[in-house]
Amino acid sequence: MNTSAHNLGKVAVLMGGRSAERDVSLMSGGGVLKALLASGVDAHAFDPAQRELSDLKREGFDRCFIALHGRYGEDGTVQGALELLGIPYTGSGVMASSIAMDKTMTKRVWLAEGLPTPRYVLVRREQLATVSVQQLVSELGLPMIVKPAREGSSIGVSKVTHTEQIAAALSQAAQCDADILCEQCIVGDEVTCPVLGEGEAAQALPVIRIVAPEGNYDYQNKYFTNDTQYLVPCGLPAAEESVIQALVLKAYQVLGCRGWGRLDVMIDAATRQPYLLEINTSPGMTGHSLVPMSALAAGTSYEALCCQLLASTALDHAPEVIG
């Protein structure tokens, strides 16, 4: 084992969990675990759906690599538990994780900071019987995106092109979450951009342009087909890529994120205005995942990225010494 790997101590790779993204998390965690072991790190798989988190303390783990996605892993809950246990972890802290997981709250922060994001209407599950479809169309237009406010990996997301499809789309999203986000559909280039670091030291990685079959970047095309194209270099004019990198960096910083994140952006085909869609604070690390792809384009291997992220583990609050 090399010295730097030894200094990282005993590491738990948190994977699996109880969210709808469990399968993706197991793929991410498996990749991270393999990379850390290959780098000489004393790393171990740990599934919070099958074990008590208190085992982390009892078994002497020094830090955690969070490869959980979605609820209970990306939303501030596991971060809060690790804060109580005093075990440093990868990625954003409790508040930033919680806000970023909620697409509506994220939009509110971005709009308050003057950052561009598509127009939206929040519909709550108990309002489904009384919501005015015509009102939604008049406010947002068609096509429209309907999605759960607190899910990832395109789960429960619908692109609505006709008024009569809206009720079914709302119902599908409501099965995943009590809050449903109806959003203006921006037609144009779809891109994503990872950010590494914290505060003023944070840096945006190369932008990736996503070209999905028939423009449908859904769960299947994200993880289980090879039909989606990921272009890095993205092929956009250099000045346009720089604008997007500056935008995602600001969006990441105003939420108080740290460690890493990945921000999804749509570029209006007519105006070339970029619009922030959402941020992932525990991005995928599967064979199809975009953060490692972008990092590799910047000269950082998958293994080196995993070790870099692990070395950045932190707590919101350092444990107090009592006595």
The residue among 170, 194, 181 whose CA lies nearest residue 291 is: 194
The radius of gyration computed from the CA coordinates of the chain, to the nearest angstrom, equals 20
Distance CA 152, CA 22 (A): 11
The two three-digit tokens of residue 214, written as one number = 């028939």
Report DSSP letters for 118-130, one per residue.
--EEEEEGGGTTT
Strands 144-148 and 158-160: antiparallel
Tell me whether strands 120-124 and 144-148 are parallel, antiparallel or unpaired: unpaired
| Token pair 């007519």: residue | 270
Task: Enumerate the active-site residues.
Answer: 21, 153, 223, 262, 264, 278, 280, 284
Distances (CA, A) of 195 to 56, 73, 208: 28, 19, 12
d(CA 29, CA 16) in angstroms, rounded, equals 8
- Positive or negative torsion for Cα 34, 39, 44, 45: negative
The two tokens of residue 205 are: 């990685």
Q: Please give the C-alpha separations between residue 111 and each of 77, 104, 123, 197, 259, in angstroms, as whole numbers.
A: 25, 11, 19, 23, 23
Tokens of 12: 């738990």
